[in-house]
Chain A
Amino acid sequence: MSTAVVEAPETIEPAVSKAIAPSRGQRPWTFYVLAGLFTLYVLALYGPMICIYILSFQDIRGGLVFPMKGHSLHWFVDLFTQARTGDVKGSFDRSIKLALIVTVITVVVSFLAGLGFRRRFVGDNAVFTMMIGSLVAPGLVLGLGTGLLFQALGLNAAWYTSALGAQLSWTLPFGVLVMFAVMSRFNHAWEEAAYDLGASRWQTIRLVMIPVLAPGLVAVALFGFTLSYDEFARSLQTAGSLNTLPLEIWSMTLNVTSPSLYALGTVTTIVSFVVIAVGLGTIVLIQKRRGGGSAHG
C-alpha cells in the first residue's frame, strides 16, 4: 500500500481580491443628492409646460386655470376654425418659412465659416470676437436697433427682411460655434488624401467634406431652425405688420382668454419636437450607416 502524502498547498491564496471584484455595493449618498436635484430640475423645467399641455385638452367649459373641466379636443378645433383667436395659420406659415430660410442661410454660412477658419488669417480674431458680440448682445435691443435702422433708411420692416436679419444675428454665431466643434474632429488628412488622389477642391468638398460633416451640418440646421422658430426678442420690433408665431402667441395672451391659447402651445411644442426628432434621427441614421465603430478583428 502506497502511502504517498499529498500536502495541501497552504501558501496559495484564493484569487479573489477586493480590488479586482466589481463594486456591486450601495451607491454613494452623493448619487441620491444629485438624483434628487436632477428630478427637481426636470420638474421646474417641464412642469409649467406640462400644465399647459394638460389644460389644452379640456372640453368646452374649460378655463385658464386648474381644475380640469372634462376632456376633449375642442380647443384644438377652435384654434383652427375661429378667427377671433388671431391669425394662427398665417403666423404659423410665416414662422415655418422664416425658420427654413434662416436654416438654409445658417447652414451655408456656418459651413463656409468652418472652412475659412481652418487656417489662421489676418483679422480672424476680430471676426470671431464680433461674432460672439452679436451672440451676447441683448436681443430686444438688437431688434429695436434693427427696426430703427430700417425706419431711418426708409425701408419697411417685414418678417422676410428685417426679422430675417435680426434672427440671423442670433443663429449664425451659434451655427458657426457648432461648426467649429464639428470641424475640430475633421481629420485634415482626408482632404489631403482626396487631393493626392486627384480630386479638385470642389470634388473634395462634395465627395468628402460634406458627407463626412453631414451629422454636424444637420446639427447646425437643427439649431438654426429651432432658434428661429421660437425667436421672440429680436423679432418683436422687426417683424413688421405681420406676426410670426411667437409674436402671435404673445399677443394672444393679451386678448384671448380661452384654452385655445394652450392648445396652440401644445401644437407648437409638437412641431418643435418633431423637428428635433427628425434632426436627431437623421444624425443617428447617418452614423448608423457608417457602422459607428463596430470594429472587427
Chain B
Amino acid sequence: MKIERGDIELAGVCKSFDGVSNVVDGVNLKIADGAYCCFIGPSGCGKTTILRMIAGHEDPTAGEIVIGGHNVVGLPPVQRRTAMMFQSYALFPHLTVRDNIAFALRVRGMAKADRLRAADAMIEKVRLTPFADRLPAQLSGGQQQRVALARAAITEPRVLLLDEPLSALDEQLRVQMRQELRRMQRDLGITFIHVTHTQLEAIALADLVVVMDNGRIKQAGPAREVYAQPHDRYVAEFMGGQNVLSGRVEKVNGASFMLGQAAPGAIEVPLRARSSLGIGDKIDIAIRRDDVALVRPGGALPTGCSTSLPSRVLAIEYQGYFVKVMLDTVPDDEFVAYVPEKTFFADPLNVGDVVVATWPTELARPLA
C-alpha cells in the first residue's frame, strides 16, 4: 500500500478519552488533495484531537480516517504520508538546524553525506542557510518555525498537519509567517491542515474553513461562505463581523417575514430558503456589521432599507479604515456598526447621540 494523494475523508470519527464523553463526536468531512484547510474553534472543541488522529498520534474510538483512498487508522505517521508541525515546534534542543531537519532521513538509515545534502537543500528552500549550524535555542521564533516546517517537509508528506503554528509568534511576525505558510503550501502542492483559534488566520489562509464546537462541526466551507453566510448564531458570533438578533416571527408575507423583538420596531427579513416558519417561532437573524448604516433621527432612510431601530451610541472606536460604533439597539446582544472612515467623519457622532440603525432589507439573513 502506498499513499499517493493527500485527500482526506473523515467518516463518523469519534474520540473519547474517558469512555464517557466524546471529545470528538461523529465528525464527517472531506478535504480535497492540495487544499489548505483550517480547523477553528475555542480551546477544548476537539480540533487538536482531530488533527492528532489524522496524524496518527491518537486512535479514533470509532470511525474511519481515509487518506488518499486508504483507511489509515492504526498506521504510524510515516506510512500515512503525514507530517506534523507541533505547537511549540518541538525542535530537538541538542541538534543543530541541519541535524534537526535531517533527523527523519537519519532514522531511515540514509547515509550521512546524502542526508546532509538533502537537508541543506531544504534549508535553502526555507532560507535558513546562514543558520544551519545553530541550535534551536539560538534562533528567533520565526526561524524556529521555518526549521519545524522544513523538518516536517523533508519526509515528503502528502499531508502536513499544523497545530496552532503561529500562536508562539508576535503579531507582526504572525502576519508574515502566515504568508510564508501559504507560499510553502503552494510550492509543495500538498494538503495543509491547520488548527487555530484565530478567525482572521483561518479566513486569510484557508480554502476550507471548518468551525467546530464541542466535538462537532458547526459549519465547513470556503472562507467567504463561512464568514458571510454563517449557518447559525454560534458560527456568526465566533467568526465575528455579524450582528445577531433574536426574536419571534410576527408575520410571514410572501418572500419575507417580520421579526418582532424587545426593541421597538419590527424587522423585515427575507425568507430565503427558510420555508417552514410559523407565527411565533423563535429565530435568530444576522446582519453584517459593515452593512449597517446610521442615520440621524428625522433623516431619510437609504433606499432599500425598511427597518429602523433607534439607538444610542455607547462607544466609538477608531479602527483606521473604518470606525466601530457600538449601539444599545438590542437589550441583550451586542449591536455594532462598522462605518467607513470617510462616511463617519463627514458627520461625526459622539457617545450618547441618538441615531437610527438601518440596513438594506435583502441583506439580513435568518439563521438556523
Chain A residues engaging chain B, CB cutoff 8 angstroms: 187, 189-190, 192-200, 203, 207-208, 211-212, 214, 290-297
Bound-complex Cα distance A212 to B55 (A): 24
1/0 per position for B72-87, CB-CB distance to A under 8 A?
0000111000111011
Bound-complex Cα distance A221 to B332 (A): 65
Which of A196, A212, A294, A296 makes the CB contact (< 8 A) with B83? A196
Minimum CB–CB distance from B239 to chain A (whole Å) comes to 30
Known: A197-B103, A197-B107, A203-B107. A297 touches B140 (CB 8 A): yes
Contact A295 B77 (CB under 8 A): no
Contacts of A193 in B (CB 8 A): 84, 86, 90-92, 151
1/0 per position for B129-140, CB-CB distance to A under 8 A?
000001101111
List 27 A–B pairs whose Cβ atoms lie within 8 Å, in order of A's numbering.
A187-B88, A189-B86, A189-B88, A192-B57, A192-B86, A193-B84, A193-B91, A196-B83, A196-B152, A197-B77, A197-B103, A197-B155, A198-B107, A199-B103, A207-B103, A212-B92, A212-B94, A214-B94, A291-B134, A292-B137, A294-B137, A294-B138, A295-B137, A295-B138, A295-B140, A296-B138, A296-B139
**Told that A193-B84, A195-B77, A197-B152 touch, could you supply 8 new A-B pairs with CB distance under 8 A?**
A189-B86, A193-B151, A194-B92, A196-B83, A196-B152, A197-B155, A198-B155, A294-B137
Which of A190, A196, A200, A294 makes the CB contact (< 8 A) with B84? A196
Known: A195-B76, A197-B103, A207-B106. A187 touches B139 (CB 8 A): no
Contact A208 B77 (CB under 8 A): no
Minimum CB–CB distance from A203 to chain B (whole Å) comes to 5
Contacts of A196 in B (CB 8 A): 55-57, 77, 82-84, 152
Bound-complex Cα distance A208 to B90 (A): 11
Contacts of A296 in B (CB 8 A): 134, 138-140
Bound-complex Cα distance A200 to B77 (A): 12
Contacts of B139 in A (CB 8 A): 295-296
Contacts of B86 in A (CB 8 A): 189, 192-193
Bound-complex Cα distance A197 to B103 (A): 7
B108 CB–A CB distance under 8 Å: yes
Known: A295-B140, A297-B140. A197 touches B151 (CB 8 A): yes
Bound-complex Cα distance A214 to B94 (A): 10
Contact A290 B135 (CB under 8 A): yes
Minimum CB–CB distance from A182 to chain B (whole Å) comes to 14
